[in-house]
Amino acid sequence: MGVERERTFRVASAPPPGETRPLRQAYLAIDGDVAVRVRADGDERWLTVKGGRGRTRTEVERLLTPEQFDELWPLAGERTVEKERTRVPLDGGLVAEVDTFHGRHEGLRVVEVEFASEAEADAFVPPPWFGEDVTDEPWASNAWLATHGLPDDH
């Protein structure tokens, strides 16, 4: 079991270039602050359970076979997210993950940064191309987006 500490921002202007790959996620179950999802990330397939909301959450991941992924994906119904993720190196060894959404979430673009500690997250000064900090907004969760669609003010 791991702890994920991250902050999420709206992208305000064009980010620097980075390595981009497609991601597909399907949410099998969402109960309050707990979500169970499957994700296709390149050639890898993952089952992930996340618990909590906001900056610090519990995260447990397990690798799936392609066959297991294909069996689980349809169980999510319409609770899916399609996006491209671009990894952009930042100062101090941090990495910004820019998510550009497609399909029914077209037009939404956010950036997340993971931190080793709460102190590191508190001390982070975002670069100018980062926009508003939306970490604590309910819609900033991919599980929320998969269930509700775009936020009203996207």
pLDDT tens, residue by residue, 129-153? 999 999 999 899 999 999 999 887 6
154 occurs within a structural domain: no
The count of other CB atoms within 10 Å of the CB of residue 125 is 6
| Helix (H), strand (E) counts: the chain | 3, 9
Q: What residues are labeled active site?
A: 27
Flag whether the pTM goes above 0.85. Answer: yes
How many independent structural domains does the chain possess?
1
- Which residues is 100 bridged to in the sheet? 84, 109
The pLDDT score that the predictor gives to residue 154 is 59
Does residue 95 have a pLDDT over 70? yes
Residue 153 belongs to a domain: no
β-pairing, 80-89 with 109-114? unpaired
Q: 3-state DSSP call for residue 127?
A: coil
Q: Which of 1-5, 60-64, 101-105, 128-132 has the lowest mean pLDDT?
A: 1-5
Gap between the Cα atoms of 142 and 139, Å rounded:
8
Q: Is the pLDDT of residue 31 over 90?
A: yes
CATH number, domain at 100?
2.40.320.10
Whether 117 shows a pLDDT value over 70: the answer reads: yes
Task: Confirm whether 75 is domain-assigned.
Answer: yes
Pair 102, 83: CB distance under 8 Å: yes
Tokens 């909590």 sit on residue: 52
Average pLDDT of the residues of the chain = 93
Q: Output the six-digit token pair for 147.
A: 């269930």
CA nearest neighbour of 44 among 72, 19, 69: 69
Domain that holds residue 75: 2-148
What lies within 8 Å, CB to CB, of 106 at 6+ separation is none
